[in-house]
Amino acid sequence: MLSKKIEEVLNNQIRIEAESSQIYLAMACWAEVKGLEGIANFMYKQSDEEREHMLKLIKFINERGGHAFISELKAPDVSFKSFKEMFEMLFEHEIFVSESINELVHISLEQKDYATHNFLQWYVSEQIEEEAMARTILDKINLIGDDKGGLYLFDRDINQLTVSTASTMSPE
């Protein structure tokens, strides 16, 4: 059974994951109308993934005797000065989400809710990957600079982007 405190903070995380999905969706729309099809497809996939993160929380809360709530969402930015600015905002948002997940882990330990603590470890690992991916993308964007040919190749190749992190590497 979830404590009221854990239920409350997990429901807040549902809102954060839903807003994350909306942020990626807004970025996908912006990229699509700018002719950046690869970036748009990448963002659509990321939006779906964030929605899956939200659904996972909803199921967990309800299965543990709590009640998941779907709340009003803050509208995301819908226009950006450049694709670089968009990815910088994405990186900052992923850091915010990581901080939120870390706070949830802290609260779960304070509340001695080890089932929730265990459940949240997946989110901790996921955020390591999300931040690494955003950092890698920004590194690539910085390499491109203002080169239109580089942007073309980046837009074409972003769907194949894979990032290995310490948590995803298999021990040898």
State pTM to two decimals.
0.90
C-alpha atoms less than 13 angstroms from C-alpha of 65 in its C-beta half-sphere: 7
Q: Per-domain residue ranges for the chain?
A: 4-160
pLDDT in tens, the chain (172 residues): 899 999 999 999 999 999 999 999 999 999 999 999 999 999 999 999 999 999 999 999 999 999 999 999 999 999 999 999 999 999 999 999 999 999 999 999 999 999 999 999 999 999 999 999 999 999 999 999 888 888 888 988 887 775 555 555 555 5
CA pair distance 122, 125, nearest whole angstrom:
5
Task: Report domain 4-160's class.
Answer: mainly alpha
CB contact at 8 A, 55 and 81: no
CB contact at 8 A, 156 and 38: yes
